Structure 1
Amino acid sequence: MAHEEIQPNILYFGTPVVLLSTGNEDGTANLAPISSAFWLGWRAILGIGASAQTARNLRRTGECVLNLPSVREAAAVDRLALTTGANPVSPTKLERGYRYEPDKFGTSGLTAVPSDTVGPPRVAECPVALETVVAAIHPIAADDPRQNGKVLCVEVRVKKVHVHPEIRMAGTTDRIDPDRWRPLITSFQQFYGLGDRVRPSRLAGIPERMYRSPEVDQAATAM
């Protein structure tokens, strides 16, 4: 089948939802859904608007928790849509219909539980919670004066991983079962889940331990 050229307004072809918890200046917690995230070893790369409360908190505290919701938490995530912890609300977000909401956990109906190594809380309902610290913050689109300074690329280092027992691989101490883990996915602004495995992967023949980052052992030693 031949390709056709189009010019989409967004290029969100499908990424996991992350509920990013950070600490506000007044000691409360902010909770923000993002859909620009990927992992390399025990590091994650996040895309965040520079004017967001999350970005302000990350710059100030240098720490956060990446809470990964499953498909069961879709309604809770959606209750956070069009809310922001930044006051006043930026003109861009006002135009898109956002409102200021200081109580993100209350609005979502999710439960905050203390973290072990960072200040911001974890989300009890999310099957995965990654406690992280900021390693670097980079501007995006620095070559374009119209966009420079508006979006940030934040590199975080994972310090501790928490998971619900239901998604662990039976008989192992350090693996997630991909047949049990059902992350919430956003694709072009809509929520989706994963289907059944399509077919075995040749890459799955490589033992996971061969990808183990030195930071895994570093984190364990720090504990």
Structure 2
Amino acid sequence: MNTAHVVAEPHILYLGTPVVLISTVNEDGTHNLAPNSSAFWLGWRGVLGIASASQTTQNLLRTGECVLNLPSVNEVAAVDRIARTTGTNPVPEFKQSLGYVYEPDKFGRAGMTRVASQTVSATRALECPIQLEAVVSAVHGMGEDSDQMRGFLSLIEVRIQRVHVHPDLLMEGHVNRIAPDKWSPLIMNFQKFYGLSQQVYPSRLAEIPEKAYEQLARL
């Protein structure tokens, strides 16, 4: 393998992140569903990177709650149907330039079914195999050191309240463990959709019982 690297300046750094469908409640009581590919989890906390002016962000700040619906590779067509839509009307100028259109019924356009949540007002997307009910715990500005970025992006920390999992994903003999070999999350890789390949190497971290993280998860 050639070990010589070159200096590159990619316009984006979407280096492979999970796709999340964030459902929130609009000011008029209708429900919004928005794709996001800037999310990660630690314990039962999640962090979302999102445009500050988006409808989803405004709903999160106003209501303080959401559902993070995690699509598998099987729901990719539904995700793509709302990939360039927005719940903001009129459509912001920047999104207009990218070809976004206003869509008041994101669930309908995606072809997904709304299901009532148990701890938040935002509804779950039935077709997504994993659904995380969550509340906002902190909001941080991103790029505050840049005059060009300041106020444009937000990092929203959420606390997971309840986890809904399709039983087919559970590890045999365990009611609280998701089997990684059964879960195939949808991945955004430089604006293209991918799934996961087979496990490539056994992990020493897997030798640690998941229960060892329970205390961290509940903080």
TM-score for both structures, normalised by structure 2: 0.97
Please give the root-mean-square deviation of Cα atoms over the aligned residues, in Å: 0.9
Q: Distance in 1 between matches of 2:215 and 2:193?
A: 31
Select the residue among 78, 89, 92 that pairs with 2:91. Answer: 89
- The C-alpha deviation readout for 1:160-179, integer Å capped at 9, x for no partner, is 00000010001112110000
Query: Who is 2:145 aligned against?
Result: 143
Q: Distance in 2 between matches of 1:213 and 1:190?
A: 36
Query: Who is 1:158 aligned against?
Result: 160
Query: Who is 2:6 aligned against?
Result: 4
TM-score for both structures, normalised by structure 1: 0.95
Aligned residues: 217
> Map of 1:137-216 to 2, 5 A cutoff?
137-213=139-215, 216=218
1:42–1:213 contact (8 Å) kept in structure 2: no
Structure 1, 205-214 or 168-177: larger mean CA deviation: 205-214
Q: Distance in 1 between matches of 2:148 and 2:105?
A: 33
Partner SS, residue 77 of structure 1: helix
Query: Who is 2:38 aligned against?
Result: 36
Percent identity reads 58
Query: Who is 2:63 aligned against?
Result: 61
CA gap of 1:93–1:157, structure 2 versus 1, over 3 A, is same
Partner SS, residue 157 of structure 1: strand
Matched residue type, 1:167: L
Q: Distance in 2 between matches of 1:120 and 1:210?
A: 31
- Runs (5+) with no aligned partner, structure 2: none
- Runs (5+) with no aligned partner, structure 1: 219-223
Q: Distance in 1 between matches of 2:193 and 2:66?
A: 24
Tell me the CA shift for residue 48 of structure 1: 0.6
> Map of 1:121-136 to 2, 5 A cutoff?
121-136=123-138
